[in-house]
Amino acid sequence: MSTTVSEKIRLLRLEKNYTQEYVAAQLELSQSYYGRIENGKRTISVACLMKILSVFDVDYNTFFNDMNNSQSSQK
């Protein structure tokens, strides 16, 4: 089972103990819109992903390296 970008975003939020409301406010988005991002119902641009990662203080390369590592370990 591979982790999607939206699943990884959700996992990062949970690791930080942030609420959807908090993250959405930091991004100046509605909670419902942010929730759709986490649920994979909204596609996001690279720029939006970068903003989300900045809220979590995670580097873009780290984000994708972690995703690749978790997918490799699941094989």
Q: What is the pTM of this model?
A: 0.84
Residue 44 maps to a domain: yes
Residue 25 maps to a domain: yes
Could you tell me the pLDDT band of residue 66, with boundaries at 50, 70 and 90?
confident
Number of domains in the chain: 1
Element (H, E) at 69: helix 60-73
Could you tell me the pLDDT band of residue 60, with boundaries at 50, 70 and 90?
very high
pLDDT in tens, 18-53: 999 999 999 999 999 999 999 999 999 999 999 999
Range of the domain at 51: 5-64
Q: Quick one: average pLDDT of 2-18? A: 93
Q: How far apart are CA 8 and CA 10, in angstroms?
A: 5
Q: What CATH number does the domain containing 19 carry?
A: 1.10.260.40
Residue 70 maps to a domain: no
pLDDT beyond 50 at 1 = no
Residue 69 maps to a domain: no
